[in-house]
Amino acid sequence: MCVALIGGMDRLERDYETEARKHGVELRVFTKTRTGLATRLKAVDVMVMFTGKVSHQLKREAVNAARSSSIPVIMVHSCGVCSLRECLQRLVASQQGNAGVSGCTGSCKGGHCRADGRPVALRKGKGPSSW
């Protein structure tokens, strides 16, 4: 599975990649706007966006690229390694089972899945119970 991480802190980039390797996930980190972002994002399966540490321009470019390539976007407010770890655990669990990208099995009442089971963009608050 290939995951794109949009936003976050430059100094944690190595820690993000280490955490992804522990989960067996290929991670591409984009903390700043780069030319050709849309073409670099076409090959990813899921996009995780740290909304607390991302420029408006990078967010716009990434969301437009995700829409054009039908890539699911998971939006997380905090940008720590633990937040990424929780996202990766859910993604890996959903890949191993029959759950959607959000890790939902369809029996939730959180409102983050459509009626057909496809996930919509998730937003995570500051507490772990707000998934």
Judge if pTM exceeds 0.85: no
Q: Which domain holds residue 70?
A: 2-130
Residue 107 pLDDT: 39
CA 124, CA 58: separation in Å to the nearest integer? 19
122-124, strands of its sheet edge to edge: 26-30, 2-6, 46-50, 73-76, 122-124
Residue range 73-97: average pLDDT? 89
Please state, rounded to an integer, the average pLDDT across all residues of the chain: 78
**Domain count for the chain:** 1
Give the domain CATH number at 74. 3.40.50
Q: What is the largest CA-CA distance in the chain?
A: 41
Q: How many CB atoms lie within 10 A of CB 81?
A: 14
Per-residue pLDDT reduced to its tens digit, 10-51? 999 999 999 999 999 999 999 988 888 889 888 899 999 998
